[in-house]
Structures are given as C-alpha cells and as structure tokens.
Amino acid sequence: MATLPSSAARSLDLRYQQWIRDIHLGIQNLFLHGLRSLLTMLGMIFGVAAVVAMLSIGAGARQRVMALIEQMGVHNLIVEARETTEWQAHDKIRKISPGLTFSDYRVILDDVDGIQASTPRKRFTPSKTIPKSQQDVPAVYGVRPEYLQIAGLHVASGRFFNQQEETEGAPLCVLGTAARWNMFGASDPTGQFVKLNEQWFRVIGVVGPQLSGESGASGVSSQDDNNVIYIPLNAAILRLEDSYSNVRDEIDGIYINLRDGADMSNSAHVVRAILNSSHHGASDFSVVVPAELLAEQQRTERLFNVVMVAIASISLFVGGIGIMNIMLASILERTREIGLRRAVGAKRGDILRQFVVEATTISFTGGTLGIVLGFVISRMIAWLAGWSTIVTVSSIAISFFVSISVGLVFGIYPAMKAARLDPVEAIRYE
C-alpha cells in the first residue's frame, strides 16, 4: 500500500518532465526557424490586435453613451418640443397643434402618478452676450429650482436660485462649466454680471462639469450641457426674447422625475397620450425615457459583443490556417526526426503531444504579441483621434482564449498525422 503513492508521484513527475521537455523543444524550434515562425504568427498577431482594438473602441463609446444616459436620470421623463423657425412650417403646425404649453404641463402633473419633482423649460440662444463668449454662444435655460435635483447638477461654487427668486423672475443666473470659461476664463464669476440680449443678470453660482451630449446617440440631445446659462423660468419668459419668439412654443421642454418603483413605460405612455390628444396627433414633440434608452443600449452592447466575437473567430481562423500549413510543412522537414524518436521508444502520444505543444506555443506567443499590439493601437487611436477607448479584461481574455483554442484545433490534425507515420518509412524518408 505504501508504494502506490510513491509510484503515482513518480508517474506524475515523469509526465511533468515530458511536458516541460516538449515545451522547451517547441520554443527551441520557434527560434530555430525564427523568420518562418514570425510569419506564421502574423495572422494571429494582427487578428488578436484588431479584435482588442475594436473592442476597446466599442467599450469606450458604450461607456460614454451609457454614462450620458444615466446622467439624464433613469427615473426621469423628458419632453422635448420639435420647434421650427420657418414661418410656413410653423403656420402649418399651428393649424393643428398649439405647441407645448403650460396647460400640457399641468395636465401631465394631474394625470401621471409618482411625480416627485418637475419643471418646464424655456430655452433661448441670445443674440449677444457681455462678456462676449470666446467660443459658441451659450444656451440659456429658463427652469425652476427643481431642475437642480432632476438633472443631478452639482453646484461647484456659489448657489442655485430658489423658489422665491424664480417666482419673482429675479435677474439671476448660474453658469455651466463651459459657459463660465468662455465668458470669464479662470476668474471667479460669482457676484459679477452678464448681459443676455438687453438684460443684465447677476451670477450667483457655477455648476460642475457634465458629460457632453455630443455623442450622436439615438434619443440623446446633441446640446453641450456644459455651455449653458441657467436662469429662473419666469425671468426667461418676462425678460428675454429673441427674433424667433413668435414661432416658439410657449415652453420647449418638460422634465419629470418619478419616484423609485414607478412604472416608467406606463408613465411615458400616459404622457404621450396626453400630448397626442392636446396636439391632435401633430407629432411636434418627443418623449425621451432614459431608462428605455439605457435598456436599448445594453441590448445593443450584447449584440455588439456577439459580432466582435464572430469577427475574432474569422480573423483567428485565418491565423489558424497559417499554423496548420506551417506545421504540415514542418512534419515533412522532420520526418526522419520523427522516425528516429519512434525507433528509440517514443510513443504516438509523445509525437502527438510534441506537435500540439509547438502549435499551441506559436498561438500563445502570437496571441500575447497581438494583445500588446492591440493595446498600443488602442492608445494611439485615443491619442490621435481623441476617442475614448477602454481595453477591458474581457476583451483580452476572449482574444487570448480564442487564440489558444485556434492553436489547439489547428495543431491537432498535423500532430495526428505526424504520430501516425510509420517509423521504418520515416527513417528512410529523404
């Protein structure tokens, strides 16, 4: 009984030594035919690098869009007016619909359950500002104080206006990060004044940076949310007007924040039904449901991952063909070596293991170099194009796993062919 563990240990140690020897022989053979091995690995290297780079671009874009959607608030509903500045189009719509109004807002508050915060919005683009904006003219949002909670804004300095100031239409404003830098540079704007069209407003605060909506994501506004000046809603209505005021809706947006557990889809359905009724089916509005956008983005992400895995399989399949081709050529070159090994006692399993290890070594090395190259390409794309790229652990794991699998699959047939060689005929092979 005492000899069994010792015998099993010796057998395990012998197998371990055989694997180490075969790995050593495989690496030695790679270096012996360095150029050929490198050319064989190129398909694997570029295939893995392309997959890692593409997945990093996709992951960066998805993370940005999903963060932007979450910033919009997964418990929010947003109604946007579809306004036009063309008189003919405006007149045609007005014969059917009154546009987005305070009456719509009040009906929504009465009929939608679970609302804990809400605000209409009146948006302007001033024709002139003092101080003059160094880049794009900031948009002006007339909102109620509840917008701070609904939009998840963080006041970086100063404060936001309160309910009394909104009711009075006080000439106060809060600057977005980009608007602050465009108009005041590095100096503190709190307590200073800005002129919007012909009205002066005192700056009482600055909000922290937000993700820009310039992602092109479906359903997401392209407005740069950092280049915004927030003023009380009544101040926007009473103090500001622009050259297109006569063709604007009474209000151009409604923000609604629902309690946890509220049925977002049902609430959105109710809002659409209310507006379709009051606007007589004019379709001059859109209802944005960030929770639905988030779910759609997650479905798109899963589909994207499936497509990327398919592309990886195709790319690495080509690399696998190269491995099989070079292993078959290697068998022809080493036929006498195989015959000699068989003649001195090597079993078919030993020959099989030797060639499988060599094929796997090629794919392992190619996969490793491909991951490094893919990471470099990802960083270069982020640096040169300014895109957000993220090399994820999953993309590395998928690429590496598939590359090793390709080496095993495409190395088995040549290995089996080598193992089946007749020792006598192999020795006599010229």
pLDDT for res 216: 45
Q: Are 103 and 95 in contact (CB under 8 A)?
A: no
SS3 call for 218: coil
pLDDT one-digit tens code per residue, 53-109:
888 887 777 777 766 666 667 788 888 888 776 667 767 777 888 888 899 999 999
Mean pLDDT throughout 156-181? 93
What are 197's two structure tokens? 């069209």
Nearest to 342 by CA among 334, 350, 333: 350
Nearest to 139 by CA among 99, 196, 192: 196
Q: Structure pTM?
A: 0.64
Which segment of 72-86, 267-281, 304-318, 402-416 scores lowest on mean pLDDT? 304-318
What's the rounded Cα separation, in Å, for the pair 157 and 77? 28
Length of the chain: 430
Partners of 140 in the beta sheet?
A: 124, 229
Q: Are 121 and 256 in contact (CB under 8 A)?
A: no
Nearest to 226 by CA among 202, 240, 206, 241: 206
pLDDT for res 232: 95
pLDDT for res 85: 65
What's the rounded Cα separation, in Å, for the pair 131 and 25? 74
Domain positions in the chain are 21-67+297-428, 83-125+242-283, 129-233
Q: Is the pLDDT of residue 341 over 50?
A: yes
What's the rounded Cα separation, in Å, for the pair 326 and 366? 14
Q: Is the pLDDT of residue 1 over 60?
A: no
Q: Is the pLDDT of residue 2 over 70?
A: no
Q: pLDDT averaged over the chain?
A: 80
What's the rounded Cα separation, in Å, for the pair 183 and 187? 10
What are 364's two structure tokens? 């392992």
Q: Are 209 and 177 in contact (CB under 8 A)?
A: yes
Q: What is the DSSP letter of 132?
A: P
One-letter amino acid at 261 equals G
What's the rounded Cα separation, in Å, for the pair 117 and 408? 60
What's the rounded Cα separation, in Å, for the pair 226 and 176? 5
Q: Is the pLDDT of residue 295 over 50?
A: yes
SS3 call for 278: helix
Confidence category of residue 173, pLDDT binned at 50, 70, 90: very high
- Angle at CA 222, nearest 5°, toward 389 and 104? 140
Q: Name the residue with higher pLDDT: 253 or 410.
A: 253
pLDDT for res 30: 72
pLDDT for res 260: 82
Which segment of 133-147, 358-372, 399-413 scores lowest on mean pLDDT? 399-413
Kindly report the number of other CB atoms within 10 A of residue 319's CB atom: 28
pLDDT for res 49: 85
Backbone angles phi, psi at 194, to 5 degrees: -125, 145
The DSSP-derived string for 323-350 is: HHHHHHHHHHHTHHHHHHHHHTT--HHH
Q: Is the pLDDT of residue 135 over 50?
A: yes
Q: Is the pLDDT of residue 424 over 50?
A: yes
What's the rounded Cα separation, in Å, for the pair 115 and 267? 10
Q: Is the pLDDT of residue 222 over 70?
A: no
Q: Name the residue with higher pLDDT: 226 or 32.
A: 226
Helical (H) or strand (E) element with 99:
none
pLDDT for res 93: 77
What's the rounded Cα separation, in Å, for the pair 130 and 38? 64
- Residue matched to tokens 């193992």: 419
Partners of 256 in the beta sheet?
A: 77, 118
